[in-house]
């Protein structure tokens, strides 16, 4: 993993995933490093270009020699994006990382596509609490607070059921530099964005933990009230929800990031129905591909125009955009239903679409195998033949 000189500091980062995929940036919490996101990144790296970095004084990024502010931490992100040639990202940050994301979304809205704020707040903790931590770490080192930090990160039940994960996180906490922890603690002490976050225009998802004693559900509710059109989801977790509830976080991120972003300002003449249609057309193109949609649009006549409009608005604009399932899951479900109904033409179309949604050949095979049990052998046999046609088509293209 490379390092870059950003604003006079050496920043350690990792960039992985398909080069043409949308970029998703992860920013770590105080006391952790980029590895805190491992369980979330693994299933997402086939769908997004993933950019992670170690915040100043954490992981393999050295602490700054000078006092730092939230603006400095935000400028580190901007410098990293410029250095790797990325103009705009969706930003996902937890705790301190979420505070950095809020600052960026307020001051540099043109660089943020969508914003995910995990277990964070517009104002984290109190000055007295941060001063006490700064004094303890300065005098006694990170080990003096490590166990207390871990107990805020994870519920007792999770720690007991997952001793290896718990031990790994405790090691991560203790590995951080005291000077970096102190400097970033001072940033959190001095940062208050409560009067600023109403300026955020990026579509925002807020994830809060029911048992989080650091950034509470009430903190999440405040951000939801202040940030226009923000969504709030509460998970049964403590502060490190991306570890305790990694699968749930992945599902939330996939559903949220795959929703087309609605423009901040819309012409008055653009009706709600037209917005749904436009959103549906965007999803239809993303799933089925431009070539397929262009062919369908070229074939519109007075006779079938209403039906084409209905498909785009209702199927793609109303159903495929619902946040409860990812496009990947919807593809698998759709394939299974089309096998059961023996709809070969539609099945082939959705096999092509499934690959656009990250479905693998092994997953396609398992759907058809499963259908043999519940739909019957003839249906599965026909599906294997139809799918094989599409696989050969892909190999020859």
pLDDT given for residue 271 in this prediction: 57
Q: Give the position of tokens 């940036």.
A: 25
Residues in the chain, pLDDT under 70: 1, 260-272, 323
Is residue 337 situated within a structural domain?
yes
Task: Give the tokens for residue 174.
Answer: 């203790």
For residues 118 and 18, give the distance between their C-alpha atoms in angstroms, rounded to a whole number. Answer: 25
pLDDT given for residue 260 in this prediction: 63
204 & 315 share domain: no
**Domain with 374 in it: what CATH number?**
1.20.1290.10
Task: Give the tokens for residue 56.
Answer: 């100043």
Whether residue 255 contacts residue 233, with contact meaning beta carbons closer than 8 Å, is answered with no
239 & 356 share domain: no
304 & 365 share domain: yes
Is residue 378 situated within a structural domain?
yes
For residues 24 and 18, give the distance between their C-alpha atoms in angstroms, rounded to a whole number. Answer: 11
234 & 310 share domain: no
Is residue 265 situated within a structural domain?
no
pLDDT given for residue 366 in this prediction: 96
109 & 18 share domain: yes
**Domain with 38 in it: what CATH number?**
3.40.50.1820
203 & 240 share domain: yes
pLDDT given for residue 268 in this prediction: 40
Is residue 264 situated within a structural domain?
no
252 & 141 share domain: yes
187 & 324 share domain: no
253 & 282 share domain: no
pLDDT digits (tens, 9 = 90+) for 13-26: 999 988 888 999 99
**What is the count of structural domains for the chain?**
2
210 & 294 share domain: no
157 & 276 share domain: no
Last residue of a domain, one of 189, 222, 257: 257
Is residue 327 situated within a structural domain?
yes
22 & 119 share domain: yes
For residues 131 and 93, give the distance between their C-alpha atoms in angstroms, rounded to a whole number. Answer: 24
Whether residue 142 contacts residue 171, with contact meaning beta carbons closer than 8 Å, is answered with no
The residue segments making up the domain with residue 32 are: 3-257
pLDDT given for residue 300 in this prediction: 93
Coil, strand or helix: which one is 161? helix
Is residue 266 situated within a structural domain?
no
For residues 133 and 144, give the distance between their C-alpha atoms in angstroms, rounded to a whole number. Answer: 10
User: Alpha helix (H) ranges present in 52-205?
Assistant: 70-84, 96-107, 127-140, 143-153, 156-161, 163-175, 178-190
pLDDT given for residue 111 in this prediction: 96
Query: What's the predicted TM-score (pTM) here?
Result: 0.69
Last residue of a domain, one of 210, 232, 257: 257
The candidate with the shortest Cα–Cα distance to 368, out of 393, 344, 387, is 387
Is residue 31 situated within a structural domain?
yes
Residues found in the chain: 397
- What are the counts of helices (DSSP H) followed by strands (DSSP E) for the chain? 18, 8
pLDDT given for residue 35 in this prediction: 96
Strand partners, 112: 89
Last residue of a domain, one of 231, 257, 283: 257
Whether residue 4 contacts residue 85, with contact meaning beta carbons closer than 8 Å, is answered with no
CA dihedral (5, 11, 12, 18) positive or negative: negative
């Amino acid at each position: 993993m490379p390092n870059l000189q950003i604003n006079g500091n050496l920043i350690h980062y990792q960039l992985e995933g398909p080069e043409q995929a949308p970029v998703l940036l992860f920013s770590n919490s105080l006391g952790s490093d980029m590895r805190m996101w491992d369980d979330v990144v693994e299933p997402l790296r086939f769908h997004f270009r993933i950019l992670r970095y170690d915040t100043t004084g954490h992981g393999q990024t050295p602490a700054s020699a000078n006092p730092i502010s939230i603006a400095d931490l935000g400028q580190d992100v901007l410098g990293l994006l410029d250095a790797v040639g990325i103009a705009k990202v969706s930003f996902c940050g937890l705790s301190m990382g979420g505070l950095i994301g809020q600052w960026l979304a307020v001051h540099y809205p043109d660089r943020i596509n969508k914003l995910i704020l995990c277990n964070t707040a517009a104002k984290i903790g109190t000055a007295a609490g941060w001063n006490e931590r700064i004094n303890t770490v300065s005098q006694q080192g990170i080990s003096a607070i490590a166990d207390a930090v871990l107990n805020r990160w994870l519920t007792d039940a999770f720690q007991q059921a997952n001793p290896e994960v718990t031990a790994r996180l405790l090691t991560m906490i203790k590995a951080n530099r005291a000077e970096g922890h102190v400097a970033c603690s001072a940033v959190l002490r001095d940062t208050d964005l409560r009067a600023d976050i109403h300026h955020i225009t990026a579509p925002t998802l807020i994830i809060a933990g029911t048992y989080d004693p650091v950034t509470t559900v009430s903190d999440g509710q405040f951000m939801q009230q202040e940030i226009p059109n923000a969504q709030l989801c509460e998970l049964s977790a403590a502060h490190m929800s991306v570890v305790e509830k990694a699968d749930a976080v992945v599902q939330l991120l996939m559903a949220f990031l795959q929703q087309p972003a609605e423009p901040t300002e819309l012409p008055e003449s653009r009706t709600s129905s037209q917005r749904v249609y436009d959103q549906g057309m965007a999803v239809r193109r993303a799933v089925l591909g431009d070539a397929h949609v262009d062919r369908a649009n070229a074939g519109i006549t007075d006779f079938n125009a209403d039906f084409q409009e209905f498909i785009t608005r209702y199927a793609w604009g109303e159903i495929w955009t619902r946040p409860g399932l990812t496009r990947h899951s919807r593809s698998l479900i759709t394939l299974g239903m089309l096998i059961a109904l023996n709809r070969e033409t539609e099945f082939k179309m959705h096999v092509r679409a499934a690959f656009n949604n990250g479905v693998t050949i092994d997953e396609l095979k398992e759907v058809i195998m499963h259908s043999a049990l519940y739909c019957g052998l003839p249906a599965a046999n026909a599906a294997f033949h139809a799918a094989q046609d599409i696989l050969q088509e892909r190999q020859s293209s």
